[in-house]
Amino acid sequence: MFVVLMVGMPIILLNMLLQSQISVWGLRYYLSRISKPTCFSVAALPLFGVITILMLGNFMQIALWGLLFWLLGEFETMELAVYHSGVNFATLGYGDIVMTPTWRLLGPLEAVNGALMIGLSGATMLAVLQHQLKAK
């Protein structure tokens, strides 16, 4: 179990750093584009941009976990490793593909990491939306 934690924790820390940076980039993008919009669709564009940036950040984190799984030899293809990673990160838990007993504890670690990072993405989007509502 200790080895699994020593392998998983650097990925979690890297994802936390990545998500923090992505959130800041998303907010900076938003702040650089806000103005007094004249119509709803113009007001929604900066929020759409932030959501896109945050989603790309989550996809990068899923790919990072998938790369780890692939490098550990858990999956034959990167595609399968990323699929399994996405299921873990989103906390879906399909169970159609499982890892070997040696590394299976990485799944719950990724799920906790994903729940926190997706939560931070939601909080960032909510902050932008609240700012948009106050600006009307």
**How many Å apart are CA 110 and CA 97, to the nearest integer?**
15
Give CA–CA dist 54/123, Å, rounded: 11
pLDDT per position as a tens digit, 39-66: 666 778 888 999 999 999 999 999 999 9
CA 18 to CA 23: how far, in whole Å? Answer: 9
What's the CA gap between 95 and 101, in Å, rounded?
A: 14
Model confidence pLDDT, tens digit, residues 64-87? 999 999 999 999 999 999 999 999
Q: What is the pTM of this model?
A: 0.90
